[in-house]
Amino acid sequence: AQSVAQPEDQVNVAEGNPLTVKCTYSVSGNPYLFWYVQYPNRGLQFLLKYITGDNLVKGSYGFEAEFNKSQTSFHLKKPSALVSDSALYFCAVRRLSSGGYNKLIFGAGTRLAVHP
Amino acid sequence: GAVVSQHPSWVICKSGTSVKIECRSLDFQATTMFWYRQFPKQSLMLMATSNEGSKATYEQGVEKDKFLINHASLTLSTLTVTSAHPEDSSFYICSASQFSNQPQHFGDGTRLSIL
């Protein structure tokens, strides 16, 4: 069964420093992986996805993620954190239902706190 | 592009009433829409998947008669929480995708509080 793990409940980083939010996955077959961000009382905003191709995926707001097949990881990164990046981040893997629907399985979420 | 609008954003009502939440895709046609529930400080839990013109597919443990889903057009899906009780209080989020293999785009969610 497909699953996603985000081992950190919270990540704290100083503004201007690089940030990493970790995600590992377990899938059968080739993984379709996603990162979403959620601000308070809002829905999820799509950041980036990995389907195939280059292992380093670039997304919105300066974020990128590195797909590592041997370590089954898809960590989210940003070279220089901003206070406005503080939010809840979700990693997700696509799972095809029996009806062919594109379901998303979400990790538990990681709260990123960027301090001035 | 790919904007999903969810309404209302916040609703407070008395126990026993029914509440309808709308999810609209504003600039694309959504063949598939998804309804999620999110408890405080927790991840999203998929409740059901709906396809335009057909019955919704509910996840295990989700009561079909409690959470009525209608996907009457390619731009609108509704979730009705029937005879709501305090335990139904939660943050409900919809998402939509143009095709089943396309990324999901999310609405801003509806915070439902049942007194």
Kindly state the tokens that stand for A59: 């997304």
Please, which residues bridge with residue A12 across strands? A113
Give tens-digit pLDDT for A69-98.
999 999 999 999 999 999 999 999 987 766
Q: What share of chain A is helix, strand, coil (3-state, %, to 5)?
A: 5, 55, 40
The pLDDT profile of chain A, 116 residues, written as one tens digit per residue, is 788 999 999 999 999 999 999 999 998 888 899 999 999 888 899 999 998 889 999 999 999 999 999 999 999 999 999 999 999 999 999 877 666 667 888 999 999 999 99
B52-87: pLDDT as tens digits: 888 899 999 999 999 999 988 899 999 999 999 999
**CB contact A106 to B (< 8 Å):** yes
Task: Tell me the nearest-neighbour CA distance from B66 into chain A, angstroms.
Answer: 22
Q: What average pLDDT is seen over chain B?
A: 91
DSSP annotation of A75 reads: E
Residues of A in contact with B51 (CB under 8 A): 101
Distance from CA of A12 to the nearest CA of B (A): 17
For A106, which of B6, B44, B103 is closest by C-beta distance? B44
